[in-house]
Amino acid sequence: MKMTFRWFGDTDKVSLSYIKQIPCMSGVVSAIYSVQVGEVWPEDEIIELKNKCLNAGLEFEVVESVPVHEDIKLGKGRYKEYIENYKANIRLLAKHGIKCICYNFMPVFDWTRSELNHQLQDGSNALVYYQEQLNDIDIKNMSLPGWDASYTPEEMSTLIEEYKTIGEEGLWKNLEYFIGEILPVAVECDVKMAIHPDDPPWSIFGLPRIITNEENLDRFLALYDDIHHGLTLCSGSLGCTKKNDIPKLIAKYTKMKRIHFAHVRNVKILDNHDFEESAHYSKCGSLDMVDILKAYYDNGFDGYIRPDHGRMIWQETGKPGYGLYDRALGAMYLAGIWETLEKGSK
CB 216 within 8 A of CB 208: no
Check pLDDT > 90 for residue 189.
Answer: yes
Q: What is the pLDDT of residues 77-110, one digit of tens each?
A: 999 999 999 999 999 999 999 999 999 999 988 8
Check pLDDT > 70 for residue 141.
Answer: no
Looking at residue 112, its pLDDT comes to: 86
* Residue 89 Cα to chain centre, angstroms: 18
Q: Where are the domains of the chain?
A: 2-108+167-266+289-344
**What is the C-alpha to C-alpha distance for residues 241 and 169, in angstroms, rounded to an integer?**
23
Task: Catalogue the active-site residues.
Answer: 196, 234, 263, 308-309, 322
Q: Angle 182-188-193 (CA atoms, 0-180°, nearest 5)?
A: 50
CATH architecture for the domain at 2-108+167-266+289-344: Alpha-Beta Barrel (3.20)
Q: What is the pLDDT of residues 283-340, one digit of tens each?
A: 999 999 999 999 999 999 999 999 999 999 999 999 999 999 999 999 999 999 999 9
CB 5 within 8 A of CB 327: yes
DSSP secondary structure code for residue 312 in this structure = B
Mean pLDDT (the chain, rounded): 94
Q: What is the pLDDT of residues 191-223, one digit of tens each?
A: 999 999 999 999 988 899 999 999 999 999 999
Kindly report the number of other CB atoms within 10 A of residue 35's CB atom. 16
**What is the C-alpha to C-alpha distance for residues 147 and 255, in angstroms, rounded to an integer?**
35
